[in-house]
Amino acid sequence: MAQYSAVLDGVFVALADPTRRAVLRRLGRGPASVGDLAGEAPMTLPSFMKHVRVLESNGLIRTAKSGRVRTCELNRERFALVEDWLAEQRAIWAGRTDRLERFVTTTPEEKQ
């Protein structure tokens, strides 16, 4: 459980930054070189590479180098972790709102 939590924490840290979310959004359309991705970001290449490393170290993207070009692509399987966590949270909150609705709509006579 602790390992699952640490992995999930890392994924959410990676998703917390708008630059990294923009990279993921772009990679949703297909693989791209680091140079192409960096061209869309308002920062230097070394600064941008830090974002790439965070995404890669948390398993959200994969990179491959061919010659001098490093290409990035989404690791779609990692997003299943987030989907599972969100589904778990939805179920918890749906149960809570259902109980609240029953509490609010039940008359005092029905509660006895």
Sheet arrangement for strand 61-66: 32-33, 69-74, 61-66
Specify the pTM. 0.75
Q: How many Å apart are CA 87 and CA 16, to the nearest integer? A: 19
Hey, what CATH topology would domain 2-111 get?
Arc Repressor Mutant, subunit A (1.10.10)
For the stretch 8-47, pLDDT in tens is 889 999 999 999 999 999 999 999 999 999 998 889 999 9
> Helix-strand-coil percent breakdown of the chain, rounded to 5?
70, 10, 20
Whether the per-residue pLDDT at 101 is higher than 90: the answer is no
Whether the per-residue pLDDT at 91 is higher than 60: the answer is yes
Domain positions in the chain: 2-111
Of the given ranges (65-69, 84-88, 107-111), which has the lowest mean pLDDT? 107-111
Q: Which residue, 13, 5, 8, 6, is CA-closest to 51?
A: 13
Mean residue pLDDT of the chain comes to: 87
